[in-house]
Amino acid sequence: MAQADSLIGAPVALEFPSVGATENILMAAVLAEGVTTIDNAAREPEIVDLCEMLQQMGAIIDGAGTSTLTITGVNRLSPTTHRVVGDRIVGATWGIAAAMTCGDVTVRGVNPKHLSLVLNKLVDAGAQVDRFDDGFRVRQAQRPVAVNVSTLPFPGFPTDLQPMAIGLAAISEGMSVVTENVFEARFRFVEEMVRLGADARTDGHHAVIRGIEQLSSAPVWSSDIRAGAGLVLAGLVADGVTEVHDVEHIDRGYPNFVENLRSLGGTIERVVD
């Protein structure tokens, strides 16, 4: 537990552009006395969105969307009404699902500029991608082509989409290399994909995947939100019935996940023990 009667502005240099660290320092700094600078700040759209809301409330923030934020503390903030930016990770999950299943999915409520690299990768995989002001459409007419992916902080490929990228690679034509530069623990997902028949192996912070035409059904276990969603997508392109366990992780990041997949044509049901 940490406690202080008041906070004083100070320079803060982050070793890594962490979203959570940037958000917490930012929210503390807006009511701190004096000036705070955050160097190597995260630049994700969610950070920009938070800055915009805080500015509506009376905060003084310069540099939103850049790697250096300068915050001049104020005495108080005022109430505001703010519409939160669309969840780009959820939106991209549906886009990758379309590519994996040779489907056609339109996503609304997400700025496609926040997913430029991801959507470009889907184009490289053979998908037709149409971008709108408030969303995008992904159509895949034939088996995807293998693409390489390296995760990086924004505007790079999001680490939260690494499991979906591996799922796409597992059924693509050719060999893909997925490099994890942010969160190495996500490669636990590869072990579960192997249960589904994926030809995949890890070497340090690289995963090498040789695509096969169809995965095989098996019981698998989700270790986190994105791994769980990725395993469900993999189950859609596996023969037979795939069981995904520990799905409470998925609920934390994907509201109405089962219902949305059903509306898109997926055969899926939640089994209550």
Whole-model pTM: value is: 0.94
Band (pLDDT 50/70/90 cuts) for residue 4 is confident
Q: What is the pLDDT of residue 43?
A: 97
Q: Mind listing the pLDDT tens digit for each residue in 37-86?
A: 999 999 999 999 999 999 999 999 999 999 999 999 999 999 999 999 99
Q: Mind listing the pLDDT tens digit for each residue in 184-213?
A: 778 989 999 999 999 999 999 999 999 999
Burial class (CB in 10 A: 0-12, 13-18, 19+), 148: middle
The percentage of the chain sitting over the pLDDT mark of 70, rounded to a whole number, equals 100
Compute and round to an integer the Cα radius of gyration of the chain. Answer: 20
Segment 157-175 mean pLDDT: 97
Domains for the chain: give ranges and CATH numbers: 11-72 (no CATH), 88-264 (3.65.10.10)
Band (pLDDT 50/70/90 cuts) for residue 169 is very high
Q: Are 178 and 158 in contact (CB under 8 A)?
A: no
CA atoms of 97 and 104, how far apart (whole Å): 9
Token pair of 65 as six digits: 């969307």
